Structure 1
Amino acid sequence: MKIAFQGIRGAYSEMALHSHFGKDVESVGCDAFDDVFDAVNSGAVTFGLIPVENTIAGSVVENYDLLFANEVFVIAEVYLPIRHTLLAKKGARLEDITQAFSHPHALKQCKEFLKSQNIKMMPTYDTAGAAQAVAEGDRVDCAAIASELCAEIYDMQILASDIQSNTSNTTRFFVIAKKESVPEDLVTGKTTVAFKTRHYPGALLDCLKIFQKYKLNLSKLESRPIPENPWEYVFYAAFEAGIDQSEVKSAIGELTLHAVFVKLLGSYPKAEKCW
């Protein structure tokens, strides 16, 4: 079974992929998030795995926009603790490192450690790509901040582990599938929808009262602009109940009457949190 993710080998997304599906699946790296959606839509892969939220950096808004724009369905959520590792070429020593390459978010999350070691932060496109570049380079005074998996893949030396300042740093991922590929025996415990309110005072409040009426606990509410319609917004909401429950069906039916539109983005098992 092929599963698509954004990034190259060793990316945190690949770690999340294997933590959910196991080691026997084939992970397929993609250059961009929309390439993951294209791979799922074309049938080139069975499922895709995308990050949607981080406890420090917040929502990955691009992927919410892509969920709205594509006819895919969320069938699972996955939580991955983010444990940053300082990696360098074999034989390198921590005291000799002068520069650390990584994604800006990773660098920021490890700022205190890098400052204590007088290591200069060098932003790059992604964590695994930084590890690959350092591994293929010839400098032993450069390091990368990436996953521990990168040390195994690119034959690198681990100079320091768990160098992030916030130990609760966690990323939430969605597993997406074409609607015809949704498992028939899928047990659901959470649901994510997108909706657009009508234009009158209190329109959003009227929609939110529906969730209260049916005792649905909202775990997320966020707005995103509609590029084609300036100053108009789509709201994304997640609540802790599955689509098969009668109160969820009633709530979505009533929401449809109040909103301009409602799109069901997915209903999936509630993942066990890792913090």
Structure 2
Amino acid sequence: MKIAFQGIKGAYSELALYEHFGRNAESVGFDSFDEMFEAVADASVDFAVVPVENTIAGTVVENYDLLLSHDIFIVAEIFMKIRHTLLAKKGVVLNDIKEAYSHPHALRQCKEFLRTHNIEPMPVYDTAGAAERVSQWDRKDCAAIASELCAEIYGMDILSKDIQTNKSNTTRFFVIIKKENLTDEIVHEKTTIAFKIQHYPGALVDCLKTFQENRLNLTKLESRPIPENPWEYVFYTDFDGGMDSEVVRHTLEELEQRSLFIKILGSYPKGTDCW
């Protein structure tokens, strides 16, 4: 079984993949989210693990757009605490470090630690890539901020753990599959959909009333622009309840009548924290 993630070995997405599928899973890294979605769509991989939201950085809007444009289905969600680790080459100590390389989000999330230790933040494309680079350089004054998994993969020393300022920093991931490969084994506790409203005053309220009238709890509502239709938007919604529920099916039938289109993106078990 092949499971895709975006990035290189040691990325947080790969760590989430292992937490969900186990360390024996065959992980396959892709350079971009577009390539990863295409791999799921053409069945060259069985699943993909996709970051969709972070409690600090917010929504990964690109991936919601890709969910809408591909024949993909969400079959699980994963919540993972992001625990940043300061890594350096073997034999280097914390007092040697003058620069820390990582993704800009990770650097911002660790700014208090960096300030305390007078370490200059150095932004690069991704966290695991930073670890790989630093492991290859013949320097003792630089480190990387990445996952603890990177220390194992790239043969680095851990100088400090949990260096993020906000200890509750959490990323939500979706596990996706090609829609035609769905099985009946999935537990349905939560559903994600996209819909577009009609153009009259109160159209969004009328759509949302559908959930209230059927006593379904919305857990997320977010709008995204439709590029080919300026100033028009599609709404992404999560709510409690699965597609195996008659109430949910009835609600979506009503919503379809009140909206211009609706797409069911997934129905899956509620996730719990990995760590």
Partner of 2:4: 4
Letter in 2 for 1:226: I
Q: Which amino acid aligns with 1:120?
A: E
Which letter does structure 2 place at the counterpart of 1:102?
A: S
- What is the match of residue 97 of structure 2? 97
RMSD: 0.8
1:192 aligns with 2:201: no
2:5–2:30 Cα contact (<8 Å) kept: yes
Whole-Å separation in 2 of the counterparts to 1:227 and 1:138: 46
The residue that corresponds to 2:244 in the other structure is 244
Q: Is 1:24 equivalent to 2:18 in the alignment?
A: no
Segments of 5+ residues of structure 2 without an aligned counterpart are: none
- Structure 1 residue runs of 5 or longer lacking an equivalent are none
Are the equivalent residues in 1 in contact too, given 2:3–2:45 (CA < 8 A)?
Answer: yes
Q: Percent of pairs identical after alignment?
A: 64
Deviations 1:44-86 (A, max 9, x none): 1001110000011110000000000111000000111100000
Q: After the TM superposition, which residues 146-165 of structure 1 pair with which residues of structure 2 at under 5 Å, given as runs?
A: 146-165=146-165
SS at match of 2:208: helix
Q: Does the CA-based 8 Å contact 2:19-2:274 persist in structure 1?
A: no
SS of match in other structure, 1:166 = coil
> In structure 1, what residue type is equivalent to 2:101?
F
CA shift, 1:155, in A, is 0.2
**What does residue 139 of structure 1 align with?**
139
The aligned counterpart of 1:110 is 110
What TM-score results when the alignment is normalised by the length of structure 1? 0.99
Cα drift, residue 259 of structure 1:
0.2
Q: What is residue 262 of structure 2 aligned with on the other side?
A: 262
- Are 1:14 and 2:4 matched, yes or no? no
Amino acid of the structure 1 residue aligned with 2:220: K
Q: Give the aligned residue type for 1:63.
A: N
Look up the SS of the partner of 2:39 in the other structure.
Answer: helix
Following superposition, the deviation at residue 273 of structure 1 comes to 3.8
User: Quick one: distance in 1 between partners of 2:137 and 2:273?
Assistant: 38
Measured in 2, the distance between the counterparts of 1:234 and 1:197 equals 7
1:163 aligned counterpart, secondary structure: coil
Give the Cα separation in 2 of the matches to 1:244 and 1:213: 19
User: For residue 157 of structure 1, what is the amino acid of its counterpart?
Assistant: D
Shift of 1:183: 2.4
In 1, are the aligned partners of 2:242 and 2:267 still within 8 Å (CA)?
yes
Cα deviation for residue 42 of structure 1 reads: 1.2
Aligned AA (2:265):
L
**Any residues of structure 2 matched to 1:81-92 within 5 Å, and which?**
81-92=81-92
Structure 1 outlier segments of 4+, above 3 Å: none
**Paired residues of 2:75 and 2:177 also in contact (CA < 8 A):** yes
Amino acid at match of 2:31: D
Aligned residues: 275
Name the counterpart of 1:170. Answer: 170
Give, in angstroms, the shift of residue 145 of structure 1.
Answer: 0.2
Any conservation in 1 of the 2:81–2:273 contact (CA below 8 Å)? no
Deviation at 1:274, TM superposition (A): 5.7
Tell me the SS of whatever aligns to 1:232. strand
